[in-house]
Structure 1
Amino acid sequence: MVARPKLLVTRRIFPEVLERLEAHFEVASNQDDEEWSAEALRARVSDCEALFVVASDRVDAALLGAAPKLRIVSTGSVGYNHIDLAACSARGVVVGNTPDVLTEATADMAWTLLMAAARRVSESERWLRDGQWKRWAFDQFLGADLFRSTLGIIGMGRIGSAVARRARGFEMTVLYSNRSRAANEAELGAQFVPRDELLARADHVVLVLPYSQATHHTIGERELALMKPTATLVNIARGGIVDDAALARALEEGRIAAAGLDVYENEPALNPALLDAPGIVLTPHIGSATRSSRVGMAMLAADNLIAFAEGRPLPAPVRVG
């Protein structure tokens, strides 16, 4: 009998996904679901041919050096900035990710944060729960309109396009900024504009671009200064795209009105200034957190691993060369 390749799964996954993997691999999985240190991960992967990671796991040259048998890394995420693709390429390690399956859920989350922030939902709920609601008033918790306002989307890929499609119901003017013109801009009714123009014109800005060194602090002091004082900023992309400290200052000083964040620099650690900033809605990286999306992500990550084990092309490969 041919020995099955060894697979390390760094987080607890759904039973049906684990069962599929166990039919093809000798699986060791993190059933406690505690985040392992880099040292602990290197020790556990040392004799493995395959690795199933999540976005908080760093796959770098040090890990690859500790795992001489490793041949494939499959991440249960669309983003792969936690994986050193150059180091993987140099060692002949294949990489897979999970595009598409979380598009609609994440676009829904963008709208959840946008509406909650623009209409001051979290702020007013805390005020109500604190027992401060004593009377109704015309000027109580006045928020921003979404209907027939201007939406700016930075990053018009799959998720950005899904965000734009939802804007039709609000009869919004949709602006977008991207590395290149989107082939579907006419279908979406979206207008391509330079980023600075988008920031100056938009009533609401949604960030949906991948993280890299080139996109680090895409929104910082200068960009926040371009936005309207009545504007809302939403980040469902990746932490590090927004300078969180600069955003907290802009909110505190009233230079923008509201923000909704699902991702953060150095998460799960938060810049404490965000917790005290007015007009902000904070969620713990749950953009894709519906059962269908999360199971779909885990299944696609498993499909990548199984395809490799069977000598087939990965259904969702990341270009590593």
Structure 2
Amino acid sequence: MKPYVFVTRKMPEHLLSDLYEIAEVGMWEHEDIPVPSEVLQKELERADALFSLVSDPLRSQQLAKCPKLKVIANMAVGYDNIDVEHATNKGIVVCHTPDVLTDTTADLTFALLLATARKIPEATDYIKNDQWQQWSPYLLAGTDVHHKTIGIVGMGRIGEAVAKRAKGFDMEILYHNRSRKMETEQQLGAKYCSFEELLQQSDYVVCLAPFTPVTKELFDQQAFQQMKNSAIFINASRGGLVNEAALQEALEKGVIQAAGLDVFAEEPVRANHPLVQLPNVVAIPHIGSATVETRDAMVKMTVENIKKVLEGKPPLAAVNFKELGV
């Protein structure tokens, strides 16, 4: 019998052709609606492989009954939706899709920075709402990006790609990371500093760190208070790195100037979310890697990860290699 693979969201059929050749494939029928928990649980009980998204919770309770599951392939760089330790204890390989979305996410991150600094959404609405009656010197005046200081928290692949874009704007580049990146420093002129120094010196603080128990709510009230009053905060990583109540307070009281947010602690958010309601927030719906080219590449990589594990080969990218000896 062929192994059974369940895909948790509707994907383009032609991108799954390699799976159809080696497996029986089941797929949730909706593109925009997450698979219900009871459906996911039933599928886990019979699946040999799972094609998952970051919106699919795969905690210990979901993974408790999956006797045949060999691989969870997450169509994302992040995998904080998966209890990796529990999966590892059950011998399940956990895969993700790094690299293929690096430049696309960096583009979006810098676009979000520019849009927030230059009040692009507000300016667009200004015309759409028929408010443009005359020109004035300080009409929708934003903040310069060129020759300012950017502080990147999390200098992974995406952080390095954002730094490259910042260099093109003649920005001074500061970064904080678990470890120093000497090659990045040499190539881009980036300067390593402590988290506190980065907060105090940066005009733009960009969060690109992974979400872990250590980084949970890294940006709290104390962090925002250490930033410049003119600072702009950008988060294109995970919402859980931010204490949203502290960010709301900082924005309302002028502790920092503005924020651009692609991610939130609980998603999706509605229009009445307190941060979305603030005039100095640019909010977008977790679209960091959302281009057709990159989404297709992510699907293909997820398929290849599953295919290789089912064929007894090392996947392209697994997060629990060492523990499983893969």
TM (norm. structure 2) is 0.95
Which residue is 1:180 aligned to? Answer: 179
AA in 1 matched with 2:207 = L
Deviation at 1:297, TM superposition (A): 0.8
Residue 68 in structure 1 maps to residue 71 in structure 2:
no
Cα deviations by residue, 1:160-211 (Å, 9 ceiling, x for unpaired):
0000011111111000001110132211210001111111111111111100
Which residue is 2:251 aligned to? Answer: 251
Secondary structure in structure 2 of the residue aligned to 1:213: coil
The percent of aligned pairs where both chains have the same amino acid is 39
Deviation at 1:254, TM superposition (A): 1.8
Native 8 Å contact 2:229 2:255 kept in 1? yes
Cα deviations by residue, 1:266-293 (Å, 9 ceiling, x for unpaired):
1113571112212211111110011111
Distance (whole Å) between structure 2 residues aligned to residue 30 and residue 79 of structure 1: 22
Alignment of 1:1-321 (within 5 A): 3-33=1-31, 34-183=33-182, 184-270=184-270, 272-319=273-320, 321=323
Distance (whole Å) between structure 2 residues aligned to residue 308 and residue 43 of structure 1: 22
- Runs of 4+ with deviation above 6 angstroms: none
Deviation at 1:42, TM superposition (A): 0.5
Secondary structure in structure 2 of the residue aligned to 1:299: helix
AA in 2 matched with 1:235 = N
AA in 2 matched with 1:169 = G
Distance (whole Å) between structure 2 residues aligned to residue 243 and residue 61 of structure 1: 25
Gaps of 5+ in 1: none
Distance (whole Å) between structure 1 residues aligned to residue 273 and residue 309 of structure 2: 43
Deviation at 1:245, TM superposition (A): 2.2
Deviation at 1:24, TM superposition (A): 1.3
Distance (whole Å) between structure 1 residues aligned to residue 62 and residue 254 of structure 2: 45
Native 8 Å contact 1:144 1:230 kept in 2? no
Deviation at 1:27, TM superposition (A): 0.2
Secondary structure in structure 2 of the residue aligned to 1:23: helix
Native 8 Å contact 2:88 2:320 kept in 1? no
Deviation at 1:248, TM superposition (A): 2.0
Distance (whole Å) between structure 2 residues aligned to residue 64 and residue 192 of structure 1: 40
Native 8 Å contact 1:233 1:260 kept in 2? yes
Of 162-171 and 274-283, the range deviating more from structure 2: 274-283
TM (norm. structure 1) is 0.96
Distance (whole Å) between structure 1 residues aligned to residue 40 and residue 145 of structure 2: 45
Count of residues paired in the alignment: 319
Native 8 Å contact 1:252 1:278 kept in 2? no
Gaps of 5+ in 2: none
